[in-house]
Amino acid sequence: MYQRICKHLSFCCLAFAAGNLVAADSDWKLLPLPYNNPGLEVDLGVGLWAWPMPMDYDGDGDMDLLVACPDKPTNGVYFFENPTQDPKIKMPVFKPGVLVGKAGHNMQVSYVDGRPRVLRQGSEYVRDEITGAFDFDKSTKIYAKSNVHENNVRGNMWRYVDFDGDGDQDIAVGSGDWTDYGWDHAYDASGRWRNGPLHGNVYIINNDGTDAEPKYDASPVRLQAAGGDVDVYGWPSPNFADFDGDGDLDLLCGEFLDGFTYFQNIGSRTGPNYAAGLKLADDRGEPLAMHLQMITPTAIDWDQDGDFDLIVGDEDGRVALVENTGKLRDQQPVFLPPQYFQQQADTLKFGALATPFAYDWDGDGDEDILCGNTAGNIGYFQNLGPGEGGLPKWAAPSLINVQSADGRSSHPFRVMAGPSGSIQGPCEAKWGYTTLSVADYDKDGDPDIIYNSILARVELLRNDGGVLVQAALNGTPSEHPPTWYWWQTSDHQALTQWRTTPLAIDFDADEKLDLVMLDQQGYLTLRSDGNAAKRLFVDEQGQAIQLNDKSCGGSGRYKIAVVDWDGDGRLDLLVNSENATWYRNCQDHDGKIVLKKIGNLARRNVAGHTSSPSACDLDHDGKPDLMVGAENGRIYYIAHDDCVQFSPEATTAKIATPSEDSRMPGLVSEEFVFDKPPTKECHASTICQTSRGLVAAWFGGTKEKNKDVVIWTSYHDGSRWSSPQQVASGVQHDGLRYPCWNPVLFQTPGDGPTLLFFKVGPDPQSWWGELMVSYDRGRTFRDRRRLPEGIDGPVRCKPVLTDDGQLLCGSSTEYDGWRVHFEKV
């Protein structure tokens, strides 16, 4: 039977691959760059986000891996075959992944009676009993709701488990809640996060029926531990297994960061009772942690030694074995540090969101590749010479090392945000987002690395005779970072926004190294010889080119390359897009450089967050080719002559005549906060400026004074207004609700919160004042409170901050005529 399953399965996998993977690639000219290196072994990996599902998929007696990758450009479930046919080999070298179906987030495997069952939120993928293949194109609903948590979630992990030992399968759900956290820009001036943490809860949906005819409880129960909710740092991925060998089911959770939390069952198999969660340590006593974050553990006896190991996916698509030693320390299972699985090499990959730069790093006359990624490392792909298809043979990526501070040793270079380095908050502590260029910056004859990262600091890896040393970027002016960063100190490295390329090149041909990159406001600039930024690059209308006008987490991110793409002697710009957009350097005009946005150079979309273009000449024909780092960490390549060709008319700039003055003096721009109102009526809008941008609030409902009137807010991120969000209603309790009235926004100085005053009550004669605050400058509001008796707060006018730090509020009452008064709060 297993041979029959294996034959059917092999045929199905090959047919699927031929029809969907190979054929899809053959439709494109922009292709993943092959290693051309038979026998080479590299990290096993899919694209961004790995959801591993260990199982004997081909029925040959060993454990294979199905890995779901929900992102683009290589969305799908991939089958990594274990060729050993020996289930006791812990670290087999897998064959390259074969696409077997579509993928989404939260795909996880459960084992029921020894058989794998694949669930996603609220549904199950059915396995064909004859072929053994799962149908990942459709799923079967197993529960009425796909989200059992009260808020929207990021992380919604479902698994079967016989939670109470009654012989049927209940459902465990892990829910990641970001409501308390918000998203970005919530630090104070000392780098302390003032919004709440991520929350990761676990729910149990009890089965009152049987496995054949389940009757799931309509009211999921939030699991408790030590008298409170099970609550880890988001992204919980719950695993129920007998980790301590006492016959009941313990609980082990992952998190949005890199660690594992263990909840010992101090009850029984039929009456679970969980102790407080404890962070696990490895066999050396160090915190048990993955290399990256957004981890997805699955408990299984991988090595067939009688205990539960962990197969864990990382954010960058890699998968690791976290082996259980079989020992206990303080009643906790002890695991070995992660060991990342290997596969037979297929195409170049370096983590996720790869940022390649082609350069002859080893000085042997051919182009190598240096590359950044989300983890904050820099990798080196050595070009080993000619390979098949006219393309190079490549070595596996090695991590760039830097000298330690004492000069006695070296270690892999890595940038990490830590608790306060990312504008998007402490949940991004393990990310680095390195992006780079290579040039002889210190003019000593060897190549240096100029890099930027999640920290928005342009820095240098100085090459001292083959030894890289972290160094400051000398010769640049001291400037302030973007206004939304908590560290508002002048610095020589604070020259740009986060995650955007610092391109070192002699752009103006004066034999001095320049920097082409975004400035702190997202404009494309030239820093000649590293000096002050000049906005020399303009479009056909003569407007300075602002590649990114967004603030906070939406800022930066742009990846660029500089090359004379069309061979006319003028350096052009390649900018991230679906692959790479060509900005042609057309001419000088009025002391500026006119760049015309031409279009994408290839017809394939390999981007998700952002692609990362680089110019190279791998086919040695003297024309620049295009290399693109993709969302999935793969490096794509297309020869120059295979790129999209544009007509002379399409590549010629048409300089516009100066436009007429605006319809009124001083008008900069005008727009609506929304085009489709969320309510029938709205009234009494208020607006304020924060370091995020403009924030607006108003009250709206069916009609003023109606009970459904609530407070709405929206913020402008530099590019557009956010969708209106309801932040406060007049609900008092079940059966009693009042309308809301007259919001007033005020931004306090420095790192102080944004204040939102408003009124609640049946009418102006009996309303009262309330206050909410925003620590993220208007994105979210929290800490609602009622103002003291007799204090209404400002009514439809801005308060004034007095020298003694109090707010002078213009207010009014309407219970004895309409009277104006002032309040000091």
Q: What single string gives the DSSP state of each residue in 265-303?
A: B-S-SSS--BPPPEE-BBTTSSB-B-SSSS-EEEEE-TT
User: Among 315, 344, 373, which residue terminates a domain?
Assistant: 344
| Residue among 250, 272, 269, 271 at smallest CA distance from 261 | 250
87 and 110 share a domain?
Answer: yes
Do 421 and 322 fall into the same domain?
no
Whether 558 maps to a domain, the answer reads yes
Residues in the chain: 825
End of a domain among 344, 367, 387?
A: 344
pLDDT at 8 over 80: no
Read off the CATH number of the domain in which 561 is found. Answer: 2.115.10
Same domain, 364 and 323: no
> Are the C-beta atoms of residues 448 and 463 closer than 8 Å to each other?
yes
The Cβ of residue 504 has, within 10 Å, a number of other Cβ atoms equal to 26
Planar angle of CA 178, 181, 183, nearest 5 degrees = 85
In the chain, what is the greatest distance between 2 CA atoms, to the nearest angstrom? 90
The stretch 69-75 carries a mean pLDDT of 95
Residue pLDDT, tens place only, 348-379: 999 999 999 999 999 999 999 999 999 999 99
Instruction: Give the pLDDT of residue 372.
Output: 99
Note the pLDDT tens digit of each residue in 703-723.
Answer: 999 999 999 999 999 999 999
Question: Looking at the structure, do residues 364 and 309 belong to the same domain, yes or no?
Answer: no
Is the bond preceding 52 in cis, omega lying within 30 degrees of 0? no
Residues facing 93 on adjacent strands = 342
Q: What pLDDT sits at residue 819?
A: 85
CATH code assigned at 773: 2.120.10.10
**Edge-to-edge strand order for the sheet containing 170-177?**
156-161, 170-177, 199-205, 221-222
Torsions phi, psi for 26 (to 5 deg): -70, -15
* Statement to judge: residues 448 and 597 lie in one domain: yes
Same domain, 360 and 318: no
The answer, yes or no, to whether residue 814 has pLDDT greater than 60, is: yes
Give me 657's structure tokens.
């005549």
* Whether pLDDT at 551 is above 70: yes
Query: Mind listing the pLDDT tens digit for each residue in 292-309?
Result: 999 999 999 999 999 999
Tell whether 62 is covered by a domain. Answer: yes
Q: Which of 101, 81, 53, 56 shows the shortest CA–CA distance to 343?
A: 81
My answer on whether 237 and 261 are in the same domain is yes
- CB neighbour burial string for 648-674, b if at least 16 within 10 angstroms, e if fewer: eeebeeeeeeeeeeeeeeeeeeeeebe
In a domain, 665, yes or no: no
Q: What is the pLDDT of residues 51-64, one digit of tens each?
A: 999 999 999 999 99
Q: Which residue has the tokens 């900018």?
A: 575
Helix (H) or strand (E) holding 295: none
Percent of the chain whose pLDDT exceeds 70: 96
CA distance 88 to 304: 6
Residue 349 lies in a domain: no
Q: What pLDDT score does 815 carry?
A: 79
Q: Which of 278, 311, 344 is the last residue of a domain?
A: 344
CB count in 10 Å sphere of residue 327: 11
Domain for residue 669, yes or no? no
Whether residue 658 is contained in a domain is answered as no
Question: For residues 322 and 297, is the Cβ–Cβ distance under 8 A?
Answer: yes
Same domain for 311 and 389, yes or no, is no
CA 704 – CA 686 distance, rounded (Å): 16
- Write down the mean pLDDT value for the chain: 95
507 and 480 assigned to the same domain: yes
Going from the C-alpha of 35 to that of each of 43, 302, 619, the distances in angstroms are 13, 30, 15
Amino acid at the residue 539: D
pLDDT at 442: 94
Residue 674 lies in a domain: no
Same domain as 281, residue 391: no
Backbone angles phi, psi at 471, to 5 degrees: -145, 160
Q: Determine the Cα–Cα distance for residues 562 and 572; give it in Å rounded to an integer.
A: 6
Predicted confidence (pLDDT) at residue 186 exceeds the cutoff of 60: yes
Q: Is the pLDDT of residue 568 over 80?
A: yes
* Residue 675 within a domain: no
Residues 340 and 359 in one domain: no
Q: Pairing state of beta strands 435-439 and 410-412? A: unpaired
pLDDT, tens only, 668-717 = 888 999 999 999 999 999 999 999 999 999 999 999 999 999 999 999 99
Do 533 and 640 have their domain in common? yes
Number of domains making up the chain: 3
Give the global pTM.
Answer: 0.95
Q: What is the mean pLDDT of residues 439-447?
A: 96
| Other Cβ atoms closer than 10 A to 544 | 16
Whole-number Cα distances in Å, 634 to 412, 514, 522:
21, 29, 27
Angle 31-37-40 (CA atoms, 0-180°, nearest 5)?
115
For residue 791, give the amino acid letter: I
What is the domain extent for residue 553? 355-650
